[in-house]
Every structure is written in structure tokens, then in C-alpha cells.
Structure 1
Amino acid sequence: MTDLTTTGSGRGNPAPQDWNPFSRACPSRRLLDSIGDKWAILILLALEDRPLRYGEIEHTVDGISQKMLSQRLRTLTVDGLVNRTAHTEIPPRVVYDLTDLGRSALPALRGLYEWTVANMSRIAEHRTEA
């Protein structure tokens, strides 16, 4: 079994096995914070099938505020998961789509989404018993 609590070598850019989210000093925690957020997950899944404009994402991800959508899109863009393309036309048009890196996260996010939908009834039962 792999020891998940050890830290990496600390030399230069760590090799993939050296990133350790269990360590408080590991920068991978910031990534987990950003992609583990419900809004980020829903935005990434919304972009799964095709590029979308800001308003289309806002409509698809029901309940997200404009401020939260802007923040999450900015973070996902900085992390390299989403492309933001501004088209120079009148009126201006901005389109968001997944990068290859963002697309590589979809199987895990889709799995979490499907698990949530499949088990929500059972979770709701436990919540009413508590």
C-alpha cells in the first residue's frame, strides 16, 4: 500500500509521485480546493459537450451568482482547465471551452456526479434520521 502521508523530495519541480495533498504545504491542495468546489465541478461538466458563452453557463448551472461564476471561470482558466476566447466582433462574444487538461478531469467528475445522483435518495434518508 502506498504511504499517502510522506512528502516529496523538495527538489525543483516534483515528479508526479512527489505531490502529496495530505501534506499541508503541498500546492496540490489549492487545486483540490478549486476543482472540488461544487460550482467548478458543475461548470466543467456543463462544458463537457461544447463550448459555451458566459450566459449559457449561467443558465445551465442554475443558482450560481454572476460573481461566483466569474471567479470560478477565472480560476479554472488560470489553472489551465478552461480556455477563454474573446471574439472581436460587434457585439463582443466570449466563449469558454475545456482544454485537454480540463477534459482529462471529466471521467472523475462525471463519476462523482453519477454517484451523487444515484445515491442522493439514500443520503436524504440518512439526513432525515439524524
Structure 2
Amino acid sequence: MRVVLQRVKSASVTVEGETVASIGEGLLLLVGVGREDGEAEAGWLAEKVASLRIFGDEQGKMNLSVRDVGGEVLAVSQFTLLADTRKGNRPSFIRAADPERAEPLFEYFCERLREAGVSSVKTGVFGAVMDVALVNAGPVTIVLER
């Protein structure tokens, strides 16, 4: 399972011209579920995301988590994060889980974020073509993998 985490001032997801989710200060998460992933990986990553200290404290030092600052999370499923580009010029997505397996794990990941104390967890539309907009704060972008 792979998560690209971006600290944002705001982020939103639009599907077919309609905004389906938006957040203020917090994290935009692009989440890729692999064929071999299970609840253990999803749970570990959810706790890591909730606990990662990447927000500034009173001195401006990265010392607070999204949970500490009461930030929001916008999670977007993105199977292309599992692309294999080692051979040729067309990415292979064979390592990505099929939608029937990926969607429940993605939902489990989001639920575990809530259980870990993230007060607001919003999502895009699983499997849809989405326009994702964000104002990256910092910028801070981190890749997490389990």
C-alpha cells in the first residue's frame, strides 16, 4: 500500500463538474492499494498518517500531527501509484489490487484514520475520473509505503 501525503491549506475533488469533497487545512492523501495488501498495511498506514508530525508548533517547528491541529483529511484512491515503469514506456498496473479488493481496503483505511482521532475524513469517488485541486502548504509531500 502506498500513500502520497501532501500538507495542504485546502483541497477538493470534482467529478463531472461537481465538487464532491473539499477540506481546509490538513492532508490530501493519494492512496494506492496493492494486490498483496490487507488490513494490517492499511491500519499501520492510517496510524502513521494520523501521527506524523508535519505541522508547525508555536516555534514553527514540524512537531504537530494532523490530529493535534484538528486538521482535515481528503483521501483519494489512486491505483496508478502502483505503476511499474521498469520496462517499456507504457506503465503496468499489475501490482495494483482489483477494484473489488481495493475499495473495501481503501474504506477500511479511512475508517482507521477516524478511529485514530482524525476528526474529519472525506473521500473522492472510488473508481471515478476525478479532478483534484490543492494548495500545497510548504510544500510538504511525503511518500509512505507498507
Higher helix share goes to which structure? Answer: 1
- Higher strand proportion, which one? 2
Higher alpha-carbon Rg: 1
Taking structure 1 as the reference length, what is the TM-score of the superposition?
A: 0.26
